[in-house]
Amino acid sequence: MAIELPDELIKLEEQAWAEQQAGALTVETAAAVQAAVTEHATAIGESRFAVEAALKKKVRHPDA
């Protein structure tokens, strides 16, 4: 079963990924993503690690 990811979470990860690629990832952005991932994982009853992996795959490897 695929993990559903809300648009807000995807946008946060896209921002973090862009900052990371530019060498400018901030603690605030990273913390916001982690908090959102944890909140979503809790809400849907999935592990935080599974949600984070699905999110990174969607944002960083959309063709996979």
Give tens-digit pLDDT for 10-60.
999 999 999 999 999 999 999 999 999 999 999 999 999 999 999 999 999
Task: Give me the pLDDT at residue 17, please.
Answer: 97
Which of 61, 57, 9 lies closest to 33 in space, CA to CA? 9
Residues 54 and 20: beta-carbon distance below 8 Å: no
Residue with the two structure tokens 């993503």: 33
Task: Give me the pLDDT at residue 1, please.
Answer: 66
pTM metric for this prediction:
0.92
The b-or-e profile of 11-46 (16+ CB within 10 A means b, else e) is ebbebbbeeeeeeebeeebeeebeebbeebbeeeeb
